[in-house]
Amino acid sequence: MKNLKIIVLFFTATLFLTSCSRNDNGGDPINEEELITTLRVTLVTNQGPNVVIEYRDLDGDGPNAPIITSSSDLLANASYNASMVVLNETESPVDDITLEIKDEDIAHQFFYQVGGGLNITNITYLDLDENGNPLGLEFSLQTGAPSIGNFTITLRHDLDKFAEGVSEGNITNAGGDTDISVTFPLVIQ
């Protein structure tokens, strides 16, 4: 009976010690991945109306499809400055994940991919992490001639920001884990 108590105590201690992951330096436990229900991008230009594109998936991996909206089309041959808000709207009050991304900026980076004939050029990061590497909550872009296509925004964490091409916005060698990746169908008119 005494051996059984020792085995149970050992098993319980082992289970407890392995249930809390710590960072590589033995510091505080690593944050678990947050649920992201909403990605809102506001594109501001002095050449016409601002545009808000938004992804909302209020049931997460539930049965309902995400809703992707755009307040209007983008203008051709226009410059836009963009800022993003990342939320978990299943919490009350709403959890602003944007603040956590800013707080943990060296572990996060957004990437932008233009596809499907969409005429967007010169995407530039406007914000940096504490080490001077891109973060991407703020960026600028230039539209060209009228076109239709896809614009994908991906947030990675625990990536290698020093890998080849990553600081220029190339996701290929970034590694890490994807927190969210959204493809917005856009029209430039």
Asked if 54 and 39 touch (Cβ cutoff 8 Å), the reply is yes
Lowest mean pLDDT among 2-6, 113-117, 133-137: 2-6
Portion of the chain with pLDDT greater than 90, in percent: 79
Is 12 a member of any domain?
no
Is 159 a member of any domain?
yes
Asked if 159 and 145 touch (Cβ cutoff 8 Å), the reply is no
What is the rounded average pLDDT of the residues 89-117?
96
Is 181 a member of any domain?
yes
Q: Write down the pLDDT at residue 33.
A: 64
Helix, strand and coil percent figures for the chain, each rounded to 5: 15, 40, 45
Burial 57-90 (b: 16+ CB within 10 A, else e): beeeeeeeeeeeebeebbbeebebbbebebbbee
Q: Write down the pLDDT at residue 32.
A: 54
pTM of the model as a whole: 0.82
Residue 76 above 50 pLDDT? yes
Asked if 61 and 51 touch (Cβ cutoff 8 Å), the reply is no
Is 7 a member of any domain?
no
Is 140 a member of any domain?
yes
Residue 5 above 60 pLDDT? no
Domain count, the chain: 1
pLDDT-derived band at 116, boundaries 50, 70, 90: confident
Q: Which domain holds residue 115?
A: 35-188
Portion of the chain with pLDDT greater than 70, in percent: 83
Is 102 a member of any domain?
yes
Lowest mean pLDDT among 28-42, 60-74, 128-142, 147-161: 28-42
Is 30 a member of any domain?
no
Is 46 a member of any domain?
yes
Average pLDDT over the chain, rounded to an integer: 86
Selection from 79, 51, 49 nearest residue 139 by Cα: 79
CB atoms within 10 A of CB 43: 25
pLDDT-derived band at 2, boundaries 50, 70, 90: very low
- Tell me how many degrees the CA angle 76-172-88 measures, rounded to the nearest 5: 70
Selection from 72, 43, 71, 38 nearest residue 55 by Cα: 38
